[in-house]
Amino acid sequence: MEEVNSSSLSIVRNNLAMQGVSKAAQDVICKSWRFGTSKQYDTYIKRWEQYCCRRNVDTVFAFVTDILDFLVELFNMCLKYSALYTARSALS
């Protein structure tokens, strides 16, 4: 399976490394992403990074309350629930 290259995927790989996930496990996880998955999650992973930067929140070791506030911020931007579900999945 060919690995998808995207900035969000490199963010995911870096976050996995910060959590102590082995290189082999990172490879398996990253190779499981298809182009559509990467494209769908990319926007929300980047928005999460921006949110964390603005609020001085650790992107990897954030509290549940930070994630909920991020989702509320997206909701307040009048995004549909399907977009919120995608954002939640991207973060998980």
Q: With bands split at pLDDT 50, 70 and 90, how would you rate the model's confidence at 3? A: very low
What does the mean pLDDT of the chain come to? 87
Domain residue limits at 62: 7-91
Domains identified in the chain, total number: 1
Q: Is residue 22 part of a domain?
A: yes
Q: Is residue 21 part of a domain?
A: yes
pLDDT of residue 67: 96
Are 70 and 51 in contact, with CB atoms under 8 Å apart?
A: yes
Are 65 and 23 in contact, with CB atoms under 8 Å apart?
A: no
pLDDT of residue 63: 95
Compute CA distances 52 → 3, 16, 78, 92, whole Å.
27, 17, 20, 15
- Half-sphere exposure at residue 67, Cβ-oriented, CA atoms within 13 angstroms: 15
pLDDT of residue 6: 55
Q: Is residue 2 part of a domain?
A: no
Query: Which H helix or E strand runs over 68?
Result: helix 64-76
pLDDT in tens, 38-81: 788 889 998 999 999 999 999 888 999 999 999 999 999 999 99
